[in-house]
Structure formats: C-alpha cells, structure tokens
Amino acid sequence: MKHLAKSLFTILIFGTYDASLKAETPQLNYLRYCQGCHGDAGQGSARNSVPELKEAITKFLVHPEGRDYLVQVADVSQSPIVDQELADLLNWMIRRFGTKEIQEKFAPYKASEISEPRLNRPANTRELRKKLTGKSIHSTMSD
C-alpha cells in the first residue's frame, strides 16, 4: 500500500511537470539548473546564503553594471546552456520573479549581450556585488 502510494505520487508529480514543461524550455532549464538552490518560487535559502531572486532582480537591474552582474554570477555564467538559452532563461526568470515595476521597464536580454560579460567575469563577483549594493552576500541574509 505504501509502495502504491509512492508510485502514484511519483506519477502525479512527474506527470504534471512533464505536461507543463514541454512548451517552456526556460522553465525546464530553471528546474534543471537553478531550482535546486533558488527554489520553485525563487525564494532562495537564507540558511545556505542563497539570495531571494525577486530582491536580486530588482536591486541589480537598476544598475547598468548590475545587468551584467546577473549574467556573471558563477552559477549563471557557468550553467551548461548556450547564450541564447541563457538569455531566454534570465528573461523568463525576470518575468516570473521580478516586481511589476521591473517588468514594465526591463528590456529583455539578447543573446549578444550575454557572451561578452559571460566571457569576461570579474575575478571576484562577490566584491562586485558588494560594490553595487553596499552589502556582502552574507549580510543580506539577515536584513
């Protein structure tokens, strides 16, 4: 009985994912490469110093350098997808988790805007983050 319940649960969960993901590649890439740390609602994990994406998007997109920073964070720039897919993923993420105001003002990333910052990451992205926000990654967790 326990086994049957487990199987039904698996079918239900994966059946649902399957149906909704086929049409949406950025969503599938988010699930594969980001959700494990950032969560299904982009909520992050304070315990593990993973920032909430809504706050990150709002904070960084107001700076021209912040637009590049979102591409340069290690987990983003090193994700195993090509520039166009990464642009699509960031655009999806901003539409999904960004505030209404950001969504109205934001010009979607083009693939051509991804390659340069992706290849030329600053040696220390955490320092760049601190410069842009005045805060280190760990201090934001308790704010």
* 49 lies in the site for ligand HEC, by CB under 6 A: yes
Integer CA distances (angstroms), 124 to 44, 69, 72, 118, 135, in order = 21, 11, 10, 13, 14
Binding segment (CB under 6 A) for ligand HEC, from list 13-21, 100-108, 114-122, 125-133: 125-133
The distance of closest approach from Cβ of residue 92 to ligand HEC in the complex, given in angstroms and rounded to an integer, is 9
Of 93, 88, 24, 34, nearest to 58 by C-alpha is 93
DSSP, res 40:
T
* 121 lies in the site for ligand HEC, by CB under 6 A: no
Q: What distance in Å separates the CA atoms of residue 122 and residue 126, rounded to the nearest whole number?
A: 9
Q: Which residues contact 139 (CB under 8 A, 6 or more apart)?
A: none
The distance of closest approach from Cβ of residue 44 to ligand HEC in the complex, given in angstroms and rounded to an integer, is 8
One residue of 21, 28, 34, 141 binding ligand HEC per CB under 6 A: 34
The distance of closest approach from Cβ of residue 76 to ligand HEC in the complex, given in angstroms and rounded to an integer, is 5
Binding segment (CB under 6 A) for ligand HEC, from list 28-36, 95-103, 104-112, 115-123: 28-36
Q: What distance in Å separates the CA atoms of residue 103 and residue 96, rounded to the nearest whole number?
A: 9
Q: What distance in Å separates the CA atoms of residue 81 and residue 76, rounded to the nearest whole number?
A: 10
Q: What distance in Å separates the CA atoms of residue 138 and residue 49, rounded to the nearest whole number?
A: 6
One residue of 21, 28, 31, 137 binding ligand HEC per CB under 6 A: 137
One residue of 61, 73, 102, 128 binding ligand HEC per CB under 6 A: 73
Contact positions vs ligand HEC (CB under 6 A): 33-34, 36-38, 49-51, 53, 56, 70, 73-76, 79, 89, 93, 125-126, 129, 137
